[in-house]
Structure 1
Amino acid sequence: MKHRYLIAIGLVFLTLAPLVLPTYQVTLLNYIGLYALVVLGLILLTGVGGMTSFGQAAFVGLGAYTTAYLTTTEQLPAWLSWTAGSPWLALLVGITLTAAVALFLGALTLRLSGHYLPLGTIAWGISLYYLFGTMSSMGGHTGISGLPSLSFFGLLLDKGEKIFYLIWVILLLAIWITSNLLNSREGRAIRALKGGQLMAESMGVNTFRSKMVIFLISALFAAISGWLYAHTQRFVNPTPFGLHMGIDYLFMALIGGVGSVWGALVGAGVLTMLKQWLQDWLPLIMGSNGQYETIVFGLLIVFMMQRSPGGLWPLLVKLVPMRWRIQQHILINENVDNLSRRPLPEKGELLLEAHDVTRRFGGLVANNKMNLSLHAGEVLALIGPNGAGKSTMFNQLSAVDTPSDGEVIFMGTSLQGKSSRQVANMGMSRTFQHVKLLPTMTVLENVALGAHMRGSKGVMSAALHREREEEQRLLKEAKYQLERVGLGDHLYAEAGSLALGQQRILEIARALCADPCVLLLDEPAAGLRFKEKQALAQLLTKLKEEGLAILLVEHDMDFVMNLVDRIVVMEFGEKIAEGKPEEIQTNPAVLEAYLGGEE
């Protein structure tokens, strides 16, 4: 609870700062607030979502130039005349325009990956920068002057000491909104973008939508910062909205801590103060004027990335005593209603079938005319030597990959043209051969991601903290599934700290959290000790008795033979045998191909 004292101290400082600090220091704090608002969007976009953007300064320019044009142009077009030179209505227009531009640019660039994405943001960032300087109605490179001061309920915010409070209230509100968003169902989907997109799609997350959400939010934060900047300076020109400033914003995010909301404030503060200090002192030391601070910044960034790649905020947190830190444990209300469950099919009902599934990769045929079926209340094993094509077949069944020929039918519907997200929504859930989880998130949050489809509250509800009841229901379900698989004592541990075997069990709990009727398990027993395998076998047997259909790929023959109802054996991409465990154990073709041959 003592972390509240730190927050109270911070609020008292912000309240008194304009009253006791010199004008110069207040101006610096204003700039820190403006920069931090932009960097906060970059934290979302780059640190959380894993998408590097150099174009945030251009969105700042959109907000600044929109209000500059609307508040200084004497004869506005008829369709904009309703703004009547009001800065507050100009903010509304700026937000709307920025949202439209961001949606358009996001649709163009967010499907890019690797180095193409940051290059794409550089391209449109430069384009908008030159647009600001080229349009005569925007004052060209000379800019626009004479912007009115903001007024709030009759109070004229014409000095830095007065607009200070508006800047920092908006910044703190943005931090609150961002924190709420990240600690929600939508936030888990956003955090899964960095390193877990395939897994997230298989859990029903629309990853492109999540990318668009944070791209839009980051653009709006930047536009609001531009609006505030324009009315603070009462003058705009293209210079502060170029690529160099976009790079500075990224530096601020890196210095503060690109993975932390509060890192935006730390990074903006450190870089702004340090830049002013270096600009004052380096010319005295070097004996002449020049861009020496840029050289020093470059060296400092390289040094810090080596010594503290997580930025300064994690280091600052370590200096705070544990009793003063914010409590990370999520309190779960056991009294909320349980999530509704889908009715399971009747035992023996055909749920999943593959008809002549063939998958080619160029000249390589990984699967050739594969046929199999899976029924409710049945455990089916797919086995075969390494390279037999099991994982490829597994991906065809779960719609992660698409067959070259043939088709997969689930619940009477062909999966041709369907995404893994759509298939997950139909009632199929899966684990992965190579464990896919979010290592820095808690075990509870990782499993709650599996219940993403079972919630409906959107971004606005999350941002305004209006989805708490649904969130409690999702977390309660995640806790239930973790206790069900034997990980109830690890709810708040980081998922990456678990042993490999426990991580595989975590994946099963996450898959169960989706409330499937078909469960696909890729080598679930790998890395488990004997007692853990026994517990897993008991769990799968219980799920089978409940009516769940389970298909598993596994190399542990003792585990398979004592658990499954039927086995399909593959070799060189083809099915060579199918039958009950005792039949497979004596099948000559299987013994030759997989079990070492007949004696």
Structure 2
Amino acid sequence: MNRAYTLAFVALLALLPLIPATPEFWITQLNYIGLSSLVVIGLVVLTGVGGLTSFGQAAFVGMGAYTTAYLTTALGWSPWLTLPLCLTVVGVIAYGLGVVTLRLSGHYLPLSTIAWGLSFFYLFGNMEAFGKYDGIAGVEPLSLFGWSLASGRGIYYLIWGLALAAVWATRNLLDSRPGRAIRALKGGAGMAESFGVDTASYKVVIFVYAALLAGISGWLYAHMQRAVSPSPFGLNYGIEYLFMAVIGGAGHVWGAILGSTVVLVLKDQIQNWVPRLFDTTANLEMIVFGVLLVVVLQYARDGLWPYVQRLAGARAGRRAARGGEEPPEAPPLPQRPRPTEGEVVLEVEAIRKEFGGLVAVNDIGFRVRAGEIVGLIGPNGAGKSTTFNLITGVLPATCGEVRFLGKRISGLSARAIARLGVGRSFQHVQLLPGMSVLENVALGAHLRSNVGVVAGALHSERAREAALLHEASRQLQRVGLGDYLHEQAGNLALGQQRILEIARALAADPVLLLLDEPAAGLRYKEKQELAAVLSQLRAEGMSILLVEHDMEFVMRITNHLVVMDFGTKLAEGPPVEIQSSPVVLEAYLGGVDEELAHG
């Protein structure tokens, strides 16, 4: 949101309770909107950004509410002292649930959240200590410096202060190093693993983060209502929170407040008007919400918030497309030591990959030395990309061994191999199209910083973040994309996207660079520029292994070639020998490259 509009919104929120003419109902409604917004902000991170659907957030609200209600009524605790324990209880339970349920994928994950959400609802209603379905009454109201927060106007500022703090912290988090990793979970998890992102851990992190925000909402709810019972923490409320996230804009933090407002105002109006229009007391709001959700998904899949942005004249999702300001100067990131020229960097010995009865890679072996470019060539289906995936840990080898700088890496995860200094691009471009070019490259430097979730949310990592962005900018300038720093990656042409992948790999400070068809889709001039970049990297001591179909490009820049056919190594040697090899010409290169051999 534009800063001026943000300030105006905050000022309006602050002034409303001070105006005597403001109806008490408005204050109560705004309090419920603020409580719901806390839960929905967590869902924006979990579902809208992270791609993990949960119907069980109402259960975490209940945990926070019941924990403080029990401690204040049964044990006489101060309400403020119960908040840390509420967060501890919610966090521990969420961590346990996350470790178990986030291993599931597809429709199994949301089904599992329904299952444990229902379980907690019935647990709340059957525990003697919690008053069963009657709940707990007489919860002590909050007070601050002698000022009672028992009234709606009294607790209003605390609710909205925490809600706006959650917006601030969440926006900070998503714009940080861990935020880029979180944004990669939805549609780019495999790619992110290849740059050292522990995607499984980040899934648990955002699951706990969303649960903690829901727990804070529950704590506030208990002291605002001064009573808790199971009914507000059932599955229907879990579905309602998801409605709010989707209608507001599941990928937009401010959309959480918009969605909460729309749903709760509509809910109230439906409850007022339906009995008058249809002469019924039936609960019909869920039907209306269902229709509304279908309409939003059909005509506004990103929710209502992008429309609000456009009406306000704000730029949604990115800064200036071209010519945006470069990141500020920052100290260079540390670089790993480079092997001496000619030292063996990669040794592949008799690696084999079987898919059932199909042998995709058949006992392939070769070496890559420091300061040389090795080409892996062969017709489509020869097993080149599979060989890449075996080297980088994306696929496990059936047998054989891969060593990097003398250390065995076969059997290690893609994340562990990336940590050692292996960078890569992909046969099919794998970028995060909704993120800027600069942010995509900064994701490649993930392992070169140690900024955590708390530092990101509290905005305390600016110096380290500046260093990451400066490194990303440097690599983009290096490959000729310096004019596109703030452009969305999905808006680039295919050739530019391939070069962007190389910049992202370079940001990881690799010793060995694996490029899978980097020249595919590039125009002649772009290929010349790419060849110049790769030649410069070789001169700097970089080791490069590349797969490529453009024979003119390969013959011009490589020191050594390995030819594959049907998963086996057909030939190996300098480009001049490969060009003139009768076996290779017959099996792969064909007439086009016979001309190369004689030309």
Same fold (TM over 0.5): yes
- The answer to whether the 8 Å contact 2:56/2:114 transfers is yes
Instruction: Give the corresponding residue for 1:445.
Output: 439
Helix, strand or coil for the counterpart of 1:594? helix
**How many residues align structurally?**
589
Q: Which moved more, 1:285-294 or 1:479-488?
A: 285-294
**CA deviation vs aligned residue, 1:397-447 (integer Å, no higher than 9, x gap):** 111111001111111111133111111110000000000000011000001
Partner of 2:35: 34
* 3-state SS of 1:141 partner: helix
Q: Is the 8 A contact 1:380 1:567 kept in 2?
A: yes
What is residue 101 of structure 2 aligned with on the other side?
109
1:68 pairs with 2:60? no
1:331 deviation in Å? Answer: 5.6
Q: In structure 1, what residue type is equivalent to 2:515?
A: L
Equivalent-residue separation in structure 1 for 2:81 and 2:64 (angstroms): 12
2:385 maps to 391
- Whether 2:12 is the aligned partner of 1:13: answer yes
Judge conservation of contact 1:3–1:325 (CA < 8 Å) in 2: no
1:591 deviates by 1.1
Aligned-partner Cα distance in 2 for 1:435–1:325: 21
Q: Percent identity?
A: 57
Mapped pair 1:270 → 2:262: yes
Match of 2:357 in 1: 363
Once the two structures are TM-superposed, the CA of residue 322 in structure 1 deviates from its matched residue by: 4.6
| 1:351 shift after superposition | 0.7
Contact 1:439 1:497 in 2 (8 A): yes
Letter of the aligned partner of 2:7 in structure 1? A
**Distance (Å, rounded) in 1 between the aligned partners of 2:7 and 2:319:** 17
Q: Distance in 2 between matches of 1:322 and 1:272?
A: 26
Cα gap change, 1:450/1:483 in structure 2, threshold over 3 Å: closer, same or farther?
A: same
What is the CA–CA distance in structure 1 between the aligned matches of 2:317 and 2:388, rounded to whole Å?
45
Contact 2:318 2:488 (8 Å CA) reproduced: no
Name the residue aligned to 2:247. Answer: 255
Q: Does 1:56 align with 2:50?
A: no
For the residues of structure 1 that align with 2:143 and 2:327, how far apart are their CA atoms?
A: 45
**Counterpart residue type for residue 62 of structure 1:** M
8 A Cα contact 2:360 2:386, kept in partner: yes
Aligned to 1:289, what secondary structure does the other structure show?
A: coil
Q: Deviations over 1:433-477 (max 9, x none)?
A: 000000011000001111111111211111111100111111111
Displacement after TM superposition at 1:17 (Å): 1.4
1:418 aligns with 2:383: no
- The equivalent of 1:177 in structure 2 is 169
Q: What is the match of residue 575 of structure 2?
A: 581
Amino acid corresponding to residue 8 of structure 2 in structure 1: I
- For residue 589 of structure 2, the aligned residue among 589, 592, 595 is 595
The answer to whether residue 554 in structure 2 is matched with residue 560 in structure 1 is yes
Which of 488, 497, 500 aligns to 1:503? It is: 497
Change in CA separation of 1:331 and 1:159 when aligned onto 2, cut-off 3 Å:
farther
- How far residue 339 of structure 1 moved from its aligned partner, in angstroms, is 1.0
- Of the candidates 394, 397, 421, which is equivalent to residue 403 of structure 1? 397
Match of 1:514 among 501, 504, 508: 508
For the aligned residues, what is the CA RMSD?
1.6
2:318 pairs with 1:340: no
Using the size of structure 1 for normalisation, the TM-score is 0.96
User: 1:322–1:69: structure 2 CA closer, same or farther, 3 Å change rule?
Assistant: closer
Q: Secondary structure at the match of 1:562?
A: helix
Deviation, 1:596, is 2.2
Are the counterparts in 2 of residues 425 and 453 from structure 1 also a CA contact under 8 Å? yes
Is the CA contact 1:384–1:594 (under 8 Å) kept in the aligned structure 2?
Answer: yes
- Give runs of aligned pairs for residues 465-544 of structure 1, distance below 5 A: 465-544=459-538
1:142 aligns with 2:95: no
- Which of 445, 449, 455 matches 1:455? 449
Give the Cα–Cα distance (whole angstroms) in 2 for the partners of residues 228 and 367 of structure 1. 60
Q: Which one of 424, 427, 431 corresponds to residue 433 of structure 1?
A: 427
- SS for the counterpart of 2:187 is coil
Could you tell me how far 1:105 is from its partner in structure 2? 0.4
Give the unaligned 5+ runs of structure 2. Answer: none
8 Å CA contact retained: 1:3, 1:326:
no
TM-score, normalised to structure 2's length?
0.96
SS in 1 for 2:350: strand
Matches within 5 A, 1:185-224: 185-224=177-216
Q: 1:324 to 1:135 in 2, by over 3 A?
A: closer
The code of the aligned residue for 1:416 comes to: S
In the alignment, structure 1 segments of 5+ residues that lack a partner are 77-83
Shift of 1:157: 0.7
**1:544–1:550: 8 Å Cα contact kept in structure 2?**
yes
Q: Secondary structure at the match of 1:596?
A: helix
Deviation at 1:293, TM superposition (A): 2.1
Bigger mean CA offset, 409-418 vs 572-581: 409-418
